[in-house]
Amino acid sequence: MSQPYILLVEDNPDDEELTLLALRRAKIVNEIVVARDGAEALEILFAKAQEGSLPALTMLDLNLPKVSGLEVLRHMRADPRTSLLPVIILTSSKEHDDVVAGYNLRTNAYVRKPVAFDEFAEAVRILGLFWLVFNQPPPGGARGATAVGALTQGAAARTDG
């Protein structure tokens, strides 16, 4: 089986580039597949699931063209192949309704993207560390292959600073 991938669902090219940059900085070595709208996300997800490949982590923006992030999550939760997969909503919105809807659809986390890049990069690093390394994935789900040493050393360095 090929290495579990990270599905990044993001329509804003700047945010996509920044997230990729932050993942690179966090030394996360998983393949990263980018979907630029909700429909594309579902296509990729189910096409890959057909080949037996499931994402170790899905990072989901909410405000997307065609099919919204919440719709993507609804479809994922409704399909037995993807219903237990870890999903992080990563968005600009902290609107009460979005947060509630996200949790109602069993999102595993809801993170508002910080504006300052150092905070954003730190958030991505911690999320990667937690979901790809420490978290026990659901049965059938794939554990992330990550440079654990690099991630944890990063954490140590930060506490020192």
Partner 1 sequence: MTIQGRQPEARAPGSPAERGSVSQAVLNMVDDLSDERDLQRASMRATLNILEDASEAALRMEGIQPALLNILEDLEGEKTNVLTLNNELEARVARRTDELDRINRNMEAFTYSVAHDLRAPLRAMSGFSEALLDELGEGISETGRDYARRVRDASRKMSVLIDELLQLSQVSRAELHREEIDLSSMARSIASGLASQAPERRAKFEIVDGLVAYVDRSLIQTVLENLIGNAWKFTAKREMTLISFESLPAETGQLGFFVRDNGAGFDPAFTDRLFQPFQRLHKAVEYPGNGIGLASVSRIIERHGGRVWAEGQVDRGASFHFTVSTEEQLNK
CB nearer to partner 1: pick between 35 and 45: 35
CB nearer to partner 1: pick between 6 and 62: 62
Q: How far is the CB of 24 from partner 1 (least distance, A)?
A: 11
Q: How far is the CB of 51 from partner 1 (least distance, A)?
A: 33
Tell me how far apart the alpha carbons of residues 116 and 65 are, in angstroms, rounded to a whole number.
25
Other beta carbons less than 10 A from residue 26's beta carbon: 22
Whole-Å CA distances, 107 to 76, 115, 146:
10, 22, 23
Q: How far is the CB of 96 from partner 1 (least distance, A)?
A: 10
CB nearer to partner 1: pick between 113 and 125: 113
CB nearer to partner 1: pick between 115 and 156: 115
CB nearer to partner 1: pick between 65 and 140: 65
- Site for partner 1, rule CB under 8 A: 12, 14-15, 17-18, 21, 63, 91-95, 113-118, 120
Q: Token match 């809807």: residue?
A: 101
Q: How far is the CB of 25 from partner 1 (least distance, A)?
A: 9
Q: How many residues does the chain have?
A: 161
AA letter at 52? G
Tell me how far apart the alpha carbons of residues 134 and 143 are, in angstroms, rounded to a whole number.
10
AA letter at 73? L
DSSP 18-46: HHHHHHHHTT--S-EEEESSHHHHHHHHH
Q: How far is the CB of 18 from partner 1 (least distance, A)?
A: 4
